[in-house]
Every structure is written in structure tokens, then in C-alpha cells.
Amino acid sequence: MPLMSDMKYYSFCLLALVACKNNGKTDVTPVKADTTTTKITPQADPTTAKSAGFFLDDWVSKTFAVPSHTNVAQPVDAATATVSVDYSAVTTKVPKYLFGNNTNPYMTQIVTEPLLLNNIKALSPNILRFPGGNISSVFFWDGKIPADVPANLYDSNGNTVAANYWLGNNTAGWTLSLDNYYNTLLQTNSTGIITVNYSYARYGTSAHPDQVAAHLAAEWVRHDKGRTKYWEIGNESGGPWQAGWKIDLTQNKDGQPQIITGALYGKHFKVFADSMRKAAADVGAQIKIGAQLVQTDPVNSWNAVDKTWNSGLFASAGDNADFYIVHDYFTGSDNETAATILNTPVTESKAIMDWMKTTTTQGGVSLKPIALTEWNLFTTGSKQMTSFIAGIHATMVLGELLKNQFGMASRWDLANGWNNGDDMGMFNAGDEPGGISKWNPRPAFYYMYYFQKYFGDKLISSTVQGGNGDILSYASSFSSGEAGVVLVNKGTSTQTVGVSIKNFVPGTRYYYYTFTGGADNGEFSGKVYINGNGPEGTSGGPTSYLTLTASSSAMNSSVKVSAPPRSVVFLVADGKK
């Protein structure tokens, strides 16, 4: 909705905040519309942050569609927390690649699974990574195992084990072929991000394994023929769990060290990038190539390689990368509580971006767009990963990544394995007990679906007062003129939240969906309820998620909602047309 600096109108005040003695709470009192001339500060888009960069080149404006809704009276309780939104203060445009996910080669051919495919279409991740994870380090896209790969590789304990190489032309029903990855992208209207096999440059036994591995990656670029813009050189290559972290020196012919270093990776990165860019030029494609960084200050890292990874890479590769890749699983691997888990999105997201700025400055290179190509929870023991708490966590991560201006993110992953509930998969792969149907979405799916649907195309300023620190807000604007607010109550008490939006001419109503957990499994319920609608089985959410009726209230002179314990509210307020 275009705004003019000197337009006259009867102003509608969304929220009057009056300090009153009411058990220490802030009351919400209607005020009369005044007839004075009110100046509305219009939006002004900020300069694109370097950390978002070209990932915003494909930015898309959004139009809000009013959902079917049921009238609900506003809460009569005084507000325990107030959210102040400034519609004019744009932090960043919303990169559409922030809502991505990871495919993997052990989750079926996808396009042969209509229920899974339709759920991915609805989720609209916009970007899907392949082959993803550690398998990319032993993955040969062309379906041929080279003659110069060893029969054995080192495992994470430093022992030699039989190598298990994966092939891109495998059409068995349990795996995902390269062709069907491309088909999945087409059918879900997604962009790809491909991780090439860097580790082959380490364990290959030819005279120049770096050149041979780079040539294979370049041939993939030629085969791709411009279908994929974003490419990663390797996956977590500095970790002992990765093929190629340690190599057999008796088989190596180009003098590489037994244990990888950031400097060696940087040297090899340039070889890969040169070959791949030449291949892209050969087929008339434009590609962007990412290099791996350690995501936070490694001064206390248990892995000695991490401590000099970034500095070594920058010394060898300089500014050669187009973007930087980080991974983060936010929590430790112990049995963490919900409160501990829900404290990590704010602190960890900021720590990553702060370190990206520091490490690039220390390395004498430019800050580039940052892609968080894997993220999730790592905590285990109480089915945290498959719970509604993981959904609240995902909501907060998306909001914090926006605040810290990441360019791209892809959650790990679409499907994995039950493992007694320590399952990072967004969908049940068919091994969850209790009669749960195959491809049943886990709670995180519903939170990420509604976040994208009810979040606008620009992040705008919002602050919270009161609420004991348990209320977080992420505000947005739609190009069609509405204001959106995602409210998170990470605490264990119900809160009444008032919302005030300045530099905004309100319409007549606001619409919202309230997400809560169930009563099963202690504080880690495997169920999510949306406006009271829950799953038909013992886990997941409502199958009717596409058509659920919103709650709606008249704005009158205020916006106010009830936020139950451990809840998320997705809210959109009409703008005056």
C-alpha cells in the first residue's frame, strides 16, 4: 500500500499503552481517533547486507490472502507483554531461500511417493540440497566408481574400514537418483544447491587427485546445463567423521598431509572453482560456488583442525569463494530441556554471524553471503527432535536468521530414521512405531509451513516489553499492505500480548493461528495443535492444515491475543486499503 508523507485521515490507533497499577501489568485502553494531520513515515528499503547478498536477487513480493476465519473476542485480560512494531523500519527483504531443506540419497525417489511430494510442494522450501551430508564425500554423480579410489577409507575413530561409495544413477526405490532429484526440483518449484565430492581430491590415488576430482565436479556442471546456480565444494571436510579427513599416505602421490588443513582445502578450492567456472562458461551458465567455514570461534574446539581452518582457507583461497557455508545444530548432544533448547536460536544465530564478520576481517577477505546449509537440533534422549518444541525452535531459528541477515538456510533434513525419536527427519520415513502412516509430517513441518505463509516479504522492526523475557516477536510487512507478527511464548505461563504498529494505517481485522503442544511425552509432546485442531494419530499435526480456519478479531483500537505456554501465534493485521 503506497503511503504519502502528508496524507490526512482519521487515524486509527492500534494500541494505547497506559501504565496502570494492575498487579504490575500494562493495560490496553482504547483511545479516540484524533483529527490532526498525522505523518506516516514510508518504508525505505535498506542496502542489502553483504551476508545476504545475491541470495536476495530472486526476492519475491508477497500478497496476503485473507483466510476463512471465525470471529473470536479479544482477551479481556490486561496485557502482560507488549510488542511495538514500526512498519516503516525495514531490516531486510526476506530471502526466499531461507526456508530450504535437505534431500538425501536414502529417502526414496520422492517423485514416486505422492504424499511426500505433495507435502514438500505445500511446504515450498524454495531450495533443496543434494546429495547432502557426509554421503556427498563418497558420492559419484555419474554412476561410475573411478579406478583410482581406495578399497578402504578411515572412519571417525581413525580406523580403516571398507569404503561404501554411492552412485548417482541408482534407481532403486529406497534411494534418490540424480535424475529424480532434478525431477523433484521441477515438481516442487524449487532451486537446487549441489554439494560436489571434494574428498575425492584427498583419498584419490592418481598423480593429481585434486585435478581429477575437480574435473569430475566440472563435468557435473556441464551435465547440469545451468539448472543449478548454487554449488558447494565439499561437506564438513574439517571433521574426523568425513571421508578424506585422514588419508593413507602410502597411497597418496602428490604429497598431501595425512590430516586435512584449511590451507590445503583453500588451495584445492581454487582448483575446483577454476574448473567449475570454466565448465559453466562452456554451457552458458551462471553459477555461485561456496567454501566451507567453521561457524563459530573455534578457540576452544576439541578438533585441532578447526582452530586454523578459516585462517588457512583465507590465506590459500583469498576472496575466491562466492559465498561461505556454515552448519549448526544449535544444541549439544546430551538430553537437554525445552528451556535450554529454546534459548539457543537467539544466542547461536548471532554468534555465527558475529564470527563470520570477525573471521573474514581477521583473514583479510570480504564478507560474502552466508549459507547455513544444515541446521537442526542435536539433543537426544527424550524425542526432542520429533516434538513440538522442535517446531518452536524452528520458528525462532527462521526469525533469528532473518534478524541476523543470513542469505540462505536449509534444514537437515526431509526424511531420516526413527532411532527412538532421535530423528531429524521432517517426515516419518515409515519406521515410526504406533501405527503412524508413512510420510506423516512431524510438528516442525507445520510451524515452517505457517511461518512462510504468514510472514511477509520484508522483516520490520519489533521490540517486546514485559513478558518476563519469554515473549519474542518477528514482524513483517506484505507488499499488499498488511502487517504480520510471529509471537513466540517460550515460557510455561500463559501471556496476554498486545501489539502496537506505528507508521501503519490499520484496516478492520486481524487473523491468527495459535500453535500448542499436546499432553504426551512430558515437555516434548510429539503432537501440535493449530487453533485446537490436532493429529488423527499419536504424533504430528492436523491433516487439514491447508484449509484450517483462522481466528479473527476486530481491531477496533487494539490488537491483543492470548499466548498459551510454549506456543507460537502467527498473526496478520489488515492494512487500510
What does the pLDDT look like over 148-171, one tens digit per residue?
999 999 999 999 999 999 999 999
Predicted local distance difference test score (pLDDT) of residue 87? 98
Determine contact, residues 469/537, Cβ cutoff 8 Å.
no
In the chain, what are the domains? Answer: 17-49+63-91+458-575 (2.60.40.1180), 133-182+191-314 (no CATH)
What pLDDT, on the 0 to 100 scale, is given for residue 32? 30
* 70 or 6, higher pLDDT: 70
Q: What does the pLDDT average to over 268-286?
A: 98
Its sign, for the CA torsion 227, 398, 462, 33, is positive
Pairing between β-strand 567-575 and β-strand 483-489 as defined by DSSP bridges: antiparallel
Per-residue pLDDT tens for 490-503? 999 999 999 999 99
Which pLDDT belongs to residue 577? Answer: 75
For the CA atoms of the chain, what is the radius of gyration?
25
Rounded average pLDDT over 367-379: 98
% of residues, the chain, pLDDT over 70: 93
> Quick one: pLDDT at residue 132?
83
Q: What is the mean pLDDT of residues 328-351?
A: 98
Mean pLDDT of the chain: 93
pLDDT higher for 264 or 576?
A: 264
Asked whether residue 19 carries a pLDDT value surpassing 50, the answer given is no
pLDDT computed for residue 4 by the predictor: 36
Q: Indicate whether this model's pTM tops 0.75.
A: yes
- Can you give the pLDDT at residue 21? 33
Question: 23-45 burial string, b = 16+ CB within 10 Å, else e?
Answer: eebbebeeeeeeeeebebeebee
